[in-house]
Amino acid sequence: MSAISPQAGDALRLWLEGQQALAGASANTVTAYRGDVAEFLAFMAVHKGAPQGLAALERIGVGDMRAWMAHMRGRGIGARSLARKLSAVKSFYRWLAEREGFEPTAVLSTRAPKFRRKLPRPLAEDAARAVIDRVEVQSATPWVAARDVAVVTLLYGCGLRISEALSLKGADAPLPRVLRITGKGGKERIVPVIDAARDAVADYLRLCPWPCEAQAPLFRGVRGGALSPRAIQKVMAQARMQLGLPASATPHALRHSFATHLLSAGGDLRAIQELLGHASLSTTQAYTAVDSARLMEVYERAHPRA
């Protein structure tokens, strides 16, 4: 941050502290914000010929924003990544403008580049069940096999992220009818736990050689430490190869499958948003595009006039 003025550096530090303490941003999010905004401030220092103090930052204009975006694209930054960087810069500027009392229109009116959102790629219902069955036979060690089944059943049966499933503690066992999950940004949500998931976790705990201690990880690695996400990714990769499924059949695809299958069964979009812990309904609405795409495939294949 040597190209950034001390005043701008202090402002960035204070904003990041607020994001972590007040907005509940995760450590990874704060790190990304720091890099994106520091990169922007460093560019403006070079672009303007000197580190930019707060007064100079207030005078950033439309042309300056265009120059920054052109510079980013010239470095090969994709539209999706640039949109994320611009979002971080805008968030910083909203806070800075309110703190310093200036009008940040030039920055906030900058349009993000358009990009096509990647649609979730869920598994078919029979494929999701086949994955769980196949995971069960990946390990010759019974408790490891039961553990892996318990994790993937939670991902598909409850729509958990893999980090959320692996963050469960011994105190969470036996699993209740509902779990209080802390997701991205420290946001809490209530997730119903289906009987299949509760039974799978109970089977795992019955076989696990490690004691179920309240503050210890619920899911253990073979040496007794916290289970690594990589272990579940590996067992999923083996299962999908054996079943002939595409590379998109990852642990996270089970979460997508949970949402898509609920929607196909008539689930309410708002309810699914709550179950997934999405901050914005627009994120959940991606599943309607998936479901519509599937319906169109059926229509084009089956309609007599298609």
Catalytic residue check, 129: no
Angle between helices 27-48 and 62-74 (to 10 degrees): 110
Q: In this structure, are 181 and 135 located in the same domain? A: yes
Q: In this structure, are 129 and 99 located in the same domain? A: no
Decide: pTM greater than 0.85: no
Asked, for residue 301, whether it belongs to a domain, the answer is no
Asked, for residue 29, whether it belongs to a domain, the answer is yes
Q: In this structure, are 145 and 193 located in the same domain? A: yes
Catalytic residue check, 287: yes
**Per-residue pLDDT at 70:** 92
**Per-residue pLDDT at 170:** 95
Tens digits of residue pLDDT in 133-144? 999 998 999 999
Question: Which position among 147, 161, 198, 220 bears the catalytic label?
Answer: 161
Asked, for residue 150, whether it belongs to a domain, the answer is yes
**Per-residue pLDDT at 180:** 87
Domain end, chosen from 55, 83, 108, is at 108
**Per-residue pLDDT at 38:** 93
Q: Which long-range contacts (CB under 8 A, 24 or more apart) does 132-138 make?
A: 132/156, 134/239, 134/242, 134/243, 135/235, 135/236, 135/239, 138/235, 138/238, 138/239
Question: Which position among 121, 184, 189, 294 bears the catalytic label?
Answer: 184
Asked, for residue 299, whether it belongs to a domain, the answer is no
123-158: b (≥16 Cβ within 10 Å) or e: beeebbebbbebbbebbeeebbbbbbbbbbbbbbbb
Q: In this structure, are 171 and 102 located in the same domain? A: no
Q: In this structure, are 102 and 130 located in the same domain? A: no
Q: In this structure, are 99 and 130 located in the same domain? A: no
Rounded-to-integer distance, Cα 66 and Cα 63, Å: 5
Question: Which position among 85, 198, 220, 255 bears the catalytic label?
Answer: 255
Domain end, chosen from 108, 139, 165, is at 108
The number of domains in the chain is 2
Q: In this structure, are 131 and 96 located in the same domain? A: no
Catalytic residue check, 156: no
**Per-residue pLDDT at 1:** 45
Catalytic residue check, 161: yes
Q: In this structure, are 52 and 132 located in the same domain? A: no
Mind spelling out the 3-state secondary structure of the chain? Answer: CCCCCHHHHHHHHHHHHHHHHCCCCCHHHHHHHHHHHHHHHHHHHHHHCCCCCHHHHHCCCHHHHHHHHHHHHHCCCCHHHHHHHHHHHHHHHHHHHHHHCCCCHHHHCCCCCCCCCCCCCCCCHHHHHHHHHHHCCCCCCHHHHHHHHHHHHHHHHHCCCHHHHHCCEHHHCCCCCEEEEECHHHCEEEEECCHHHHHHHHHHHHHCCCCCCCCCECCECCCCCECCHHHHHHHHHHHHHHHCCCCCCCHHHHHHHHHHHHHHCCCCHHHHHHHHCCCCHHHHCHHHHHHHHHHHHHHHHHCCCC
Asked, for residue 120, whether it belongs to a domain, the answer is no
**Per-residue pLDDT at 303:** 45
CATH code of residue 54: 1.10.150
Per-residue pLDDT of the chain in tens (306 residues, 90 and over written 9): 457 888 988 999 999 988 888 766 778 888 999 999 999 999 998 998 888 788 888 889 999 999 999 999 999 888 888 989 999 999 999 999 999 999 888 899 998 887 655 655 778 889 989 999 999 998 999 999 999 999 999 999 888 889 999 999 999 999 999 888 887 767 778 888 889 999 999 999 999 999 999 999 999 999 999 999 999 999 999 999 999 998 888 898 888 888 777 776 666 666 666 666 655 555 555 555 545 555 455 445 554 554
Asked, for residue 137, whether it belongs to a domain, the answer is yes
Question: Which position among 278, 299, 301, 305 bears the catalytic label?
Answer: 278
Portion of the chain with pLDDT greater than 70, in percent: 82
Asked, for residue 220, whether it belongs to a domain, the answer is yes
Domain housing 233 = 125-254
Catalytic residue check, 117: no
**Per-residue pLDDT at 190:** 83
